[in-house]
Amino acid sequence: MGIEDTIQPLSEWLLPIPGQQLGGLLTFMIALVILIVCGLVFGFILSVFRNGPFEAFYAVFGTAVKSVPELLSISPRRVWAMTWLAFQEAIRKKALLVFALFMVVLLFAGWYINPSAEQPVRLYLTFVLTFPKWLVLLLVIALSVFSLPDDIKRRTIYTIYTKPVLPSELFLGRLFGFVGVGSIVLFAMALVSYIFLLQGFNHTHYINADDLVAGENGTLIGETTEAAGHKHGVTIYPDGNGETDRTHEHRHAISTNEGSTGPEDKYVVHGPTDMFQARVRHIGNVRFLDRSGKNAAPRGINVGKEWEYFSYIEGGTFGAAIFTFDDVNEGMLTEVVEGDETKQMLPVEFNLSVFRTYKGIITEGIRGNYYFKNPETGARSIAIPFTAKEVSDLHYIPRTLSNFKADSEKPELDLLEDLTTEDGGRLELWIQCVEPGQYFGVAQNTVYILEANRNFTMNYVKCYLGIWFQVILVITFGLVFSTFLNGPVALLASFLALGYGSIAGEVKGLARNVIFGEKTGWYGGGPAEAMVRLFTQKNIMTELGDYFWVDVVKGIDMVFAFMIYAFVNMLPDYGMFDTQGFVVDGYNIPIAVVAEQLITVLGFLVALVAVGYFFLKSKEIAA
Amino acid sequence: MASVETQPQASQSSSDNEVIIETRNLTKIYRDFWGRQKVRALKALDLEVRRGEIFGLLGPNGSGKSTTMKLLLGLLFPTSGQALVFGQDPTSIATKERIGYLPEESYLYRFLDARETLNFYGQLFNMPADVRQKRVNDLIEMVGLKWAERRQLKEYSKGMTRRIGLAQALINDPELIFLDEPTTGLDPIGIREMKDLILKLKEEGKTVLVTSHQLADLQDVADRIAILHQGELKELGRVDALLKVSDETQIRAKGVSEEAKAEIRAILEREHAENISVENPTTTLEELFLNIVRESEARPGRRAGSDRS
């Protein structure tokens, strides 16, 4: 998850949207029904094998009926006992050595992670959010898949099974125990990583006051000394305080040293700030106009094999990208000091990409302009020129802008009063590229109103929370696999589930495309149509015709597509728990994402504990 | 082994004939992955064990006695027939609350110490902490492992492991105890103590199902035995009745002179008795060993058995 993903509000994510999505709740219910039906059928077949068809019916019925009171009569004390056992097992098998391994790697990491790199924050964050995750995931996979098969192999399970322990208690105990171990290790790694992160960037610059020259409005400008492979431009304000520019993803505050003894220590450059951000985006909807300024479309020009998320507007034409922001209000304005005045401004951040058809002056960026427009009244401000730099570029938009129309009564327009609609607070931002032959790459989430910059530590915690959810899921799946597979096979199954998790989004997308017809031009149809074509010897390009039975066949395929869609939801999409992209890019992880992750984990836990219970219940431990 | 406080079994005398274990046509067939029959481990076993008795399952290796016990413990599911313990399915929680099980080998968690082990199994019975602690202390005293209670089980000898295994089987003061080859791995003193303990459990009104291929062990403790062979029940009944040789007579007396012995032999010959044997009886090796140890402990330094020379 990262810059590309549009985050739905929790209620929208949970509920179905006709023609677009089934919604989390309905998906869960469908998956649950399929799981129950498959479980009953599988259980019946197994029981027929063991007891014959008549006995099998009663066995399956009896187990299903008994399971309800059994699942409800779980004893916390027994679960605690099993949890304690699993915890002891992991600790005494020296699971904590993983932390020692992590520390050793961290000690040497400083040699390989270069703080003087162009984007050091990105580098450090990627390391501290990736390495611990995979270490802990590998640890908990190993713990969860071998524990139960080992118990069966050593027959220690006999002494548990002959005690009044429910299969669900056995399962939950191990789950909680291993989650406990995983949590402790993960927490320790997160803490040490955080310290490593803060310490890794600490560096000191100096300013020689004699090297500063006079700038505008009584300021002094100059440069710091070089440290950690970079130096900053410096601006000292008339009051003696100042700041550096933002280089290498950070800046420094500057103050005057009262007890200075010379030009070298007249100014104190404080520690780096602004390195770690958690920006809150207010995202709008984008549409594109073609080079004639007409034909609004959800995507712009395709310039070839570039980042697919972006589409482009052509420079020197009427082509434009139009962002419509809803609910724009006074709370989004921020106060900015300009000289002696404090002004209210709207912070808008541009993250535009550039596609050049000729090189031009590569260091200067591509020129463009933007303006604001009221979508109802048509009132618009004059265009503001800017240069797309291909990095995050924060623009503070003054509340009062010049009117594009020559209106002597209203030469200026208020951003909120005149350019924003009364109903719904809608504001349009038009972006155009002015250099012919050059293109701006624009995408939905790349231009936004910057609502706030939240606490980075909290964002870091939320990211680790996502990793922790993955740890829980991996353990639960490992345990479920170990209830019916032996250790090595369960290990393989766990790795496959983890691997599937990383491509789950694509698989789900495929099924969704079939169901909602998002992608047309499929040939050959689904399994039912393919079967018909095989038997009728019609190749995939041949039309089947407009008959009733063709509709029936297509209907059957649609049922298959729904089943596949539900089935692919039975394994988790680990991508949804991976919020590293937000943290690395400096965006706040919306609380809706954490809530969706939590609900997903709880849904899987409920289903998987039930699956584990039935597998253990029907298992002949001594066979 | 020291004694341990147990709950007297409720209405013991009135329910002596209560059937605790019942199997009806109990059959177990092991199959391979494809469902093909590999071995018929148990064939239509009908058995009843009553409250308060020590019931022995006897048979050579592969006779089906361990399979029977596993079916009664719910570790295996019957292919056909039925096994009932306390009138219920062996897998039911209510049944498991009333039983104790000592496996053939003590399948315990080797990374735990004795106290942790018993505490853990006590928790599985939902025992409150204070009751559990008392019970753990009593059992550790009973099995004589107080001195090693904080050592991990992986450091225990086989005999010590059997003892802690026994303690875990008794943690819930069970009404019915399953002992699978309980004397395996024990020295003669341990075997005697185990047998004494089994008899003590019977005195307390508990029901014991014990399997063994040590014939002498079962002979000494079992009230009734079932002999299994190749999965079939071959013999079932009281031990004394089964061992009685009804067409032979044995006379035992002390201080009989050689003349009197000759006279007895003459009388028997006159009556045309067959296979006449008039001689001094021998003791069992177990009895001899235990006597020597007892004597040695009573009079240290003296060579045991010197009186006999």
Q: Which residues pair with B177 in a beta bridge?
A: B100, B208
Place of tokens 């030469």: A411
Share of chain A residues as helix, strand and coil, in percent rounded to the nearest 5? 50, 20, 30
- Give just the sign of the alpha carbon dihedral A560, A561, A566, A571: positive
> Do A466 and A572 form a contact (C-beta atoms < 8 A)?
no
Q: Does B38 touch chain A (CB under 8 A)?
A: no
At A32-76, the pLDDT tens digits run 888 888 888 888 887 777 667 777 777 778 778 888 888 788 889
Q: Is the CB of residue A166 less than 8 Å away from at least one CB of chain B?
A: yes
Tell whether B123 lies on the interface with A, counting CB pairs under 8 A: yes
Neighbours of B130 (CB within 10 A): 8
Whether B109 sits inside 8 A of A89 (CB atoms) is yes
Determine the average pLDDT of the residues in B134-143.
91
Q: Check residue B83 and give its pLDDT.
A: 92
Chain B interface includes A484 (CB < 8 A): no
Rounded to whole angstroms, how far apart are CA atoms A212 and B186? 92
Q: Is B70 on the interface with A (CB under 8 A)?
A: yes
| Nearest residue on chain A to B178, alpha-carbon basis | A162
Closest chain A C-alpha to B73 CA, distance in angstroms: 6
CA B265-B270-B272 angle, 5° bins: 95
A92 touches chain B (CB under 8 A): yes
At position A493, the amino acid (one-letter code) is A
Which chain A residues are closer than 8 Å to B105 by Cβ? 155
CB-closest option in B30, B73, B96 to A164 = B96
Taking a C-beta distance cutoff of 8 angstroms, is the pair A314, A301 a contact? yes
Q: What's the pLDDT tens digit per position in B224-268?
A: 888 888 888 887 877 777 666 667 777 878 888 888 888 888 888
Token pair of A571 as six digits: 């394994």
Q: Which residue has the higher pLDDT, B291 or A271?
A: A271
pLDDT higher than threshold 70 for residue B128: yes
**Number of Cβ pairs < 8 A linking chain A and chain B:** 84
Residue B303 has pLDDT above 60, yes or no: no
Would you give the end-to-end CA distance of chain A in angstroms? 46
**For the residues A344-357, what does the mean pLDDT come to?**
90
Does residue B44 contact residue B25 with C-beta atoms inside 8 Å? yes
Angstrom distance (rounded) from CA B25 to CA B42? 9
Considering only the beta carbons, identify the residue of B79, B97, B120 that sits closest to A85: B120
Distances (CA, A) of A433 to A358, A439, B309: 15, 7, 120
pLDDT at A186 over 90: yes
pTM of the model: 0.83
* Residue B157, number of CB atoms within 10 A of its CB: 10
pLDDT at res. B14: 45
Give the separation between CA A393 and CA A383, rounded to whole angstroms: 17
Closest residue, chain B, to A94 (C-alpha): B111
Chain B residues touching residue A485 (CB < 8 angstroms)? none
How confident is the model at residue A73, as a pLDDT?
84
Contact residues, chain B, for A163 at CB < 8 Å: 96, 121, 124-125, 172
Chain B residues within 8 A of A157 when measuring between CB atoms: 107
**Which amino acid type is present at position B241?**
A
Mean pLDDT of all residues in chain B? 82
Going by pLDDT thresholds of 50, 70 and 90, the confidence category of residue B309 is very low
H or E stretch at B224: strand B224-229
Q: Where does A437-482 show beta strands of DSSP type E?
A: 438-442, 447-453
Residue-level pLDDT at B296:
66
Specify whether the backbone of B226 is left (phi greater than 0), alpha (psi in -120 to 50) or beta: beta
Does A162 contact B30 at a Cβ distance shorter than 8 Å?
no
Per residue in A433-489, pLDDT (tens digit) is 999 999 999 998 889 999 888 889 999 999 999 999 999 999 999 999 999 888 899
Residue in chain B nearest A92 by alpha carbon: B111
Collect all residues of chain B within an 8 Å Cβ-Cβ radius of residue A623.
Answer: 30, 76
All residues of chain B having their beta carbon less than 8 Å from the beta carbon of residue A49 are 35
CA distances (Å), A258 to each of A240, A261, A266, A473, in order?
Answer: 10, 9, 8, 57
- State the pLDDT at residue A318: 92
pLDDT tens string A592-601 = 999 999 999 9
DSSP A563-604: HHHHHHTTS--GGGG--HHHHHHTB---HHHHHHHHHHHHHH
**Residues of A with Cβ-Cβ distance to B123 under 8 angstroms:** 77-78, 80-81, 84
Contact check, Cβ <8 Å, A89/B111: yes
Residues of chain B with Cβ-Cβ distance to A78 below 8 Å are 123-124, 126
A306 pLDDT higher than 80 = no
B30 versus A85: the higher-pLDDT residue is A85
Using DSSP, state whether B282 is helix, strand or coil: coil
Q: Is B79 on the interface with A (CB under 8 A)?
A: yes
pLDDT of residue B293: 67
Contact A162 B73 (CB under 8 A): yes
Structure tokens at A82: 């099993």
Average pLDDT rounded to a whole number, residues B46-64? 87
Residue A236 has pLDDT above 70, yes or no: yes
Contacts of residue A158 in chain B, CB cutoff 8 Å? 73, 75, 101, 103, 107
Angle at B139 between CA B138 and CA B142, to 5 degrees: 90
CB spacing of A155 vs B105 below 8 angstroms:
yes
List all residues 6 or more positions away from B241 whose beta carbon is below 8 Å from its beta carbon.
Answer: none
Q: How far is B258 from chain A (nearest CA, A)?
A: 59
Structure tokens at A419: 């350019």
Q: In the block, which residue shows the tokens 């505050």?
A: A253
- In this prediction the ipTM stands at 0.82
Q: Do B126 and A77 touch (CB under 8 A)?
A: yes
CA distance A158 to A136: 30
Q: Is the pLDDT of residue A151 over 80?
A: yes
Angle between helices A167-200 and A456-484 (to 10 degrees): 150
- pLDDT recorded at residue A477: 94
Contacts of A93 in chain B (CB under 8 A): 111
CA-angle at A18, arms to A16 and A21, nearest 5°:
50
Output phi, psi for B172, to 5 deg. -100, 15
Q: CB-based contacts of A277: which residues, under 8 Å, 6+ apart?
A: A453, A456, A586, A587
CA-nearest of A511, A495, A518 to A574 is A495
Partner A contacted by B99 (CB < 8 A): yes
Compute CA B201 distance to the chain's CA centroid, rounded to the nearest angstrom.
10
Measured distance CA(A333)–CA(A46) in Å, rounded: 66
* Residue A517 burial by Cβ neighbours in a 10 Å radius (0-12, 13-18, 19+): exposed
Give the per-residue pLDDT at B157: 87
Mean pLDDT score of chain A, rounded to an integer? 86
3-state secondary structure of B135: helix
Q: How far is CA A465 from CA A87, A124, A263, A495, B138, in A?
A: 21, 19, 48, 21, 46
Given CB atoms, is A77 within the 8 Å cutoff of chain B? Answer: yes
Residue B50, token pair as written in the block: 């009553």
CB contact, 8 Å: A158 with chain B? Answer: yes
**Per-residue model confidence as pLDDT tens digits over B73-92:** 999 988 888 999 999 999 88
Nearest alpha carbon to residue A589 among A598, A497, A347, A352: A598
**Which helix (H) or strand (E) is B103 found in, with range?**
none
| Residues in contact with B190: Cβ distance below 8 Å, sequence separation at least 6, in sequence order | B159, B162, B163, B183
Long-range contacts of A305-310 (CB under 8 A, 24+ apart): A306/A353, A306/A355, A306/A441, A307/A353, A307/A441, A309/A3, A309/A4, A309/A443, A310/A353, A310/A441, A310/A442, A310/A443, A310/A446
Residue of chain B whose alpha carbon sits nearest to that of A59: B77
In the DSSP assignment, the letter for residue B79 is: S
Q: Go through A106-138 and write b for each residue having 16 or more CB atoms within 10 A of its CB, e for each that does not.
A: beebeeebebebeebbebbbbbbbebbbebbbe
Q: Do the strands B207-212 and B54-58 form a parallel or antiparallel pair, or are they unpaired?
A: parallel
List the single range of A12-21, A508-517, B115-124, B294-303 with lowest mean pLDDT.
B294-303
Pairing of strands B54-58, B224-229: parallel
* Dist. CA A508–CA A600, nearest whole Å: 15
Chain A interface includes B285 (CB < 8 A): no
What is the length of chain B? Answer: 309
Rounded distance, CA B129 to CA B109, Å? Answer: 21
Question: How many Cβ atoms sit within 10 Å of the Cβ of residue B58?
Answer: 24
The C-alpha atoms of residue A573 and residue A501 are separated, in whole angstroms, by 5
Contacts of A621 in chain B (CB under 8 A): 75-76
Rounded mean pLDDT, A241-253: 84
Residue A89 in contact with partner chain B when CB distance is under 8 A: yes
**Between A220 and A1, whose confidence is greater?**
A220
Strands A400-402 and A393-398: unpaired
Q: Return the CA Rg of chain B.
A: 23
Among B28, B31, B54, B51, residue whose Cα is nearest residue B41: B28
In this prediction, residue B15 carries a pLDDT of 55
Confidence label for A501 from pLDDT (cuts 50, 70 and 90): confident
Taking the CA of residue A161 and the nearest CA in chain B, the distance in Å comes to 7
Span A249-258, mean pLDDT? 85
Q: Do A85 and B109 touch (CB under 8 A)?
A: yes
User: Is the backbone of residue A141 left (phi > 0), alpha (psi -120 to 50) or beta?
Assistant: alpha
pLDDT value of residue B288: 63
Helix spans in chain B (H): 65-73, 93-96, 114-124, 129-142, 158-169, 188-203, 215-221, 239-243, 258-270, 285-298
Mutation target vs B (from A83, A162, A618; most B CBs, 10 A cutoff): A162
Per-residue confidence at B114, pLDDT binned at 50, 70, 90?
very high
Structure tokens at A210: 């004699």
Question: How is residue B124 annotated by DSSP?
Answer: H
Percent of chain A with pLDDT over 90: 31
A311-333: per-residue pLDDT in tens? 999 999 999 999 999 999 888 89
| Contact between chains at A88 and B108 (C-beta distance less than 8 A) | no
Contact B123 A50 (CB under 8 A): no
C-alpha A417/C-alpha A175 separation (Å) is 57
Within 10 A of B225 (CB to CB), how many other CB atoms are there? 24
Q: 């026994």: which residue's tokens?
A: B166
